[in-house]
Structure 1
Amino acid sequence: MSRARIMSRLIPWIAVPALLGLLLPLQRAWWPGQGSIGWALDLFAHWQPLYVVAWLVACLLGTLHDRRWLLGLPLLALPWITASPVAPHTDEKPDLVVAVANVNIRQRDPAALLDWLQRKPANLVVLTELSPDYAAALATRKYGGFAHQALHPLVSPPGLGVLSDRPLHNVRVLADGLGALRLEADLDIDGRTVRLVAAHPKPPMATRKYHARDRLLRELATAATAHPVIVAGDLNATPWSSALLGHDMRPLRRASGWAPTYPSEARGLFGIGIDHVLVSPGFARTGAERGPDIGSDHLPVRAGLRWRGE
C-alpha cells in the first residue's frame, strides 16, 4: 500500500475523535447529566488543547489530498469559544491579588511556595491538600509574613487553609456529604464585605462525586447573585467542564486562565487546568498567571482583581 493511501486512511482516525472532543463542551453546557456516564463525558471534555493539536494535524494532512480541509481550520478557535466565561479585563491596578496552590498532602516544606510569594506578592493565598506538617512548617516561617491565617489542616487531601494580609471574619469550615470541605470567610475590600470560599471538591471520578462537585459550584454561583464572592481552589474542573458551564454558572466567572496546572510535570505540558479563581460580576480581572514548580503535583495560579461595582 502506498504512503499516500496510508495517510488518507489515517486522517479520519485523527479527525473524528478530535472533532467530537472539540464539540463536547457544547454538549456539557446544554445537557450535562447523562446519569452514570456524565462524569466520564466530563473527563473527555477536559482535553481541549490536545483536540486542537489533533484537529490541526488532521487538517494539514487532509490538505495534502484536498484543499477543502483548510475550511476546517476555523474550528481551532472552538476551545476559546466554548470555555466558561471570564471576568472582564481592566488595566487598572488590582484591589486584591489571589493565589491558589494545591500543596500536595505528601509535601512538608513550604519554602518554594513562600519564595514564589515573595517574588510575586499576593493578598490572599488559598491552600488545598494542607497537611498538619505543612501547616506547622508555615508557622515556623511566620506564615511568610501574612498577618492573618485560617487553617484547617488534615492528614488527608481535604485539608484547607487561607493566608491573608487583611482580617478574616466569620470563618467556618463546611463539609458535603462525601467529606469534601470548603472554608468560608468574610473580608473587607475598601469598605465592602466580600465572601471568600476556599474549595476543593472531590475528583469527579464517579457519579456521586461528579454531581456533588457540580452542585457545590452551582450553590456558590447562586450565592454570587446576592453578594460579592470569590471562589478559589483546586476545583477539579476545567473551563470546559459542566461544573463551570451553563447559564446558571454565569454569576461566577473565571479570573484565572486555562493553562494546565495538573500534573505539574513538564510545566503541565500534558496536563489540564483545574486550579481556579472565580469571581462574582462586580469584579474585573487585572491579569492572571501560572506559577512555578513548588514541589507539588500542581502548579499554582495567581489572579489580580479589581472591584468595579455591582
Structure 2
Amino acid sequence: MRIALPAVLLTALLVFPGVLPNTPGHLGSLVETALPWFGLGIPLLLAAAAVRRSLKGLAFALVPTVAWAALFGPGLVPFPQPSPGRTDFQVLTLNVGGDRTAPRDVARDILAADADVVALEKVPNDAMKTYEQELHASYPHRATGDTLGLWSRYPLHGVEKLDLGGAWPHAVRAVARTPVGDTAVYAVRLPSVRVTVREGFAVRRRDASAARLAERVARDPARRVVVLGDLNGSLRDRGLAPLTHGLRPAGGGSGHGPGFTWPAAFPVVRLDHVLLRGLTPTGTTVLPDLGSDHRPVLTGLRSVR
C-alpha cells in the first residue's frame, strides 16, 4: 500500500492532469506546465520497491513508468521517422531578451540558421536598429512593433499591431507572400507569468491575452496561418487551450529531447512555440543557446494540399 497508492496517484496525475481544479492559485495550470518533471517520482518508487524487495511494489511502480514513457518517451528515443517530404519554407522564433544577448552575434547566428521568416520577441529598444541593419541584406522585408519584429525574405503586407489587452502590443501580424501563397504570420509574446504567494501561479493576464489572440486568429481570413513566439507557457497548460483548439502545434522532432526552450542555459520547460493552420511541419529543432534566456525554435513547413 505504501508504494501502490503513490504509484496509482502519480499515474492518474500523468494521464489525467485536467481533472485537477485550477483553484486555488491556478494549481492545474502549474501542474500541467511541470508535468514531465513529475516523472522524478518514479525512481523513488522503484527504489522503495527495491529496498523492500517487493515484486508487487515493483509492479505498481512500473505503471507510472509506462505512462510517463508513453507520454514523453517519443521525444527522447531516436526512433526512425518517415520522410516528411519537401519543405516549402522555414520559420524561426526567438525571444532575444536577457542580459547575455549581443545583438550582432545573435543576428549572425540567426542568419546561419537560414530561416525564411524570422520572429523576434522582447527586442530591447536600443537593439532594434542593430537587428534591422544586420538582417536587412538577407531579410529585406520587415514588420516591427515595440519589442516585436518579423523579418522575411518574402514581401509583407497587411501589417497590424494587435492589442491583446496588455500594456503594449503583444503581437504583430503580417501576410507573407511565401512560395505556397499568402500566409498570415504572427509574432507573439504573451504576458509573463510568475509564482507568487498572493496569486499562486499568476497566469490571469497571459490567459486573457491568449484568448484574445485565439479569437483574432479564428477570424483571420488567411487559409494559411503561422503563430510564432513566446507564449509563456507549455501547450499542456489549459490556459493556452483556446490557441491550440484551432491551431496545430509544430511540436518537436523525435529523438531530439523534450524540446524545452527556457531557461536557455538549462531548459526545463518549452515556452516558445510554432502553431499552424493550413500548413504541416516537416521538422522542428530547438537550436543551441544563442545568448538569450530562451532558445530559438526552427521549423520547416509545407502546404497542406
Q: Per the shorter chain, which TM-score range?
A: 0.7 to 0.9
Separation in structure 2 between the aligned mates of residue 170 and residue 80 of structure 1, nearest angstrom: 39
Structural mapping, 1:207-218, within 5 Å: 208-218=204-214
Closer/same/farther in 2, CA of residues 25 and 225 from structure 1, 3 Å limit: farther
Q: Is the 8 A contact 2:163 2:170 kept in 1?
A: yes
Q: Secondary structure at the match of 1:306?
A: strand
Q: Is the 8 A contact 2:17 2:28 kept in 1?
A: no
Does residue 171 (structure 1) correspond to residue 164 (structure 2)? The answer is: no
Does residue 307 (structure 1) correspond to residue 295 (structure 2)? The answer is: no
Q: Is the 8 A contact 1:99 1:303 kept in 2?
A: yes
Closer/same/farther in 2, CA of residues 13 and 27 from structure 1, 3 Å limit: closer
Deviations 1:154-197 (A, max 9, x none): xxxxx101111111101111122222511000112336221111
Counterpart residue type for residue 289 of structure 1: T
Deviations 1:24-58 (A, max 9, x none): 54337xx7xx46633x4212211222112323542
Does residue 160 (structure 1) correspond to residue 148 (structure 2)? The answer is: yes
Closer/same/farther in 2, CA of residues 71 and 276 from structure 1, 3 Å limit: closer
Match of 1:4 in 2: none
Separation in structure 2 between the aligned mates of residue 71 and residue 308 of structure 1, nearest angstrom: 39
Match of 1:76 in 2: 68
Q: Is the 8 A contact 1:14 1:55 kept in 2?
A: no
Q: Secondary structure at the match of 1:173?
A: strand
Structural mapping, 1:1-310, within 5 Å: 15=7, 18-19=10-11, 21-23=13-15, 25-27=17-19, 34=22, 37-38=25-26, 40-59=27-46, 61-62=48-49, 64-66=53-55, 67-69=58-60, 70-77=62-69, 79-80=71-72, 91-104=84-97, 106=99, 109-143=102-136, 145-153=138-146, 159-179=147-167, 180-190=169-179, 192-205=181-194, 206=202, 208-220=204-216, 222-223=218-219, 227-245=223-241, 249-257=244-252, 259-266=259-266, 268=267, 271-280=268-277, 282-309=278-305
If the length of structure 2 is used for normalisation, what is the TM-score? 0.79
Shift of the alpha carbon at 1:123? 0.4
Deviations 1:99-155 (A, max 9, x none): 0100006466223323323332100111010112221222342446211111223xx
Separation in structure 2 between the aligned mates of residue 207 and residue 120 of structure 1, nearest angstrom: 32
Q: Where in structure 2 are there 5+ consecutive unaligned residues?
A: 76-81, 195-201, 253-257
Separation in structure 1 between the aligned mates of residue 221 and residue 161 of structure 2, nearest angstrom: 22
Moved over 6 A (4+): none
Counterpart residue type for residue 27 of structure 1: V
Number of residues of Structure 1 aligned to a counterpart in Structure 2: 281
Separation in structure 2 between the aligned mates of residue 107 and residue 219 of structure 1, nearest angstrom: 35
Separation in structure 2 between the aligned mates of residue 279 and residue 273 of structure 1, nearest angstrom: 17
Deviations 1:191-230 (A, max 9, x none): 6221111111102443531431441353255246863211
Q: Is the 8 A contact 2:120 2:148 kept in 1?
A: yes
Closer/same/farther in 2, CA of residues 288 and 71 from structure 1, 3 Å limit: same
Q: Is the 8 A contact 2:95 2:230 kept in 1?
A: yes
Separation in structure 2 between the aligned mates of residue 79 and residue 42 of structure 1, nearest angstrom: 18
Q: RMSD value over aligned CA atoms?
A: 3.2
Separation in structure 2 between the aligned mates of residue 118 and residue 110 of structure 1, nearest angstrom: 12
Separation in structure 2 between the aligned mates of residue 125 and residue 137 of structure 1, nearest angstrom: 15
Separation in structure 1 between the aligned mates of residue 13 and residue 263 of structure 2, nearest angstrom: 21
If the length of structure 1 is used for normalisation, what is the TM-score? 0.78
Q: Is the 8 A contact 1:114 1:144 kept in 2?
A: no
Separation in structure 2 between the aligned mates of residue 137 and residue 107 of structure 1, nearest angstrom: 16
Q: Is the 8 A contact 1:146 1:164 kept in 2?
A: yes
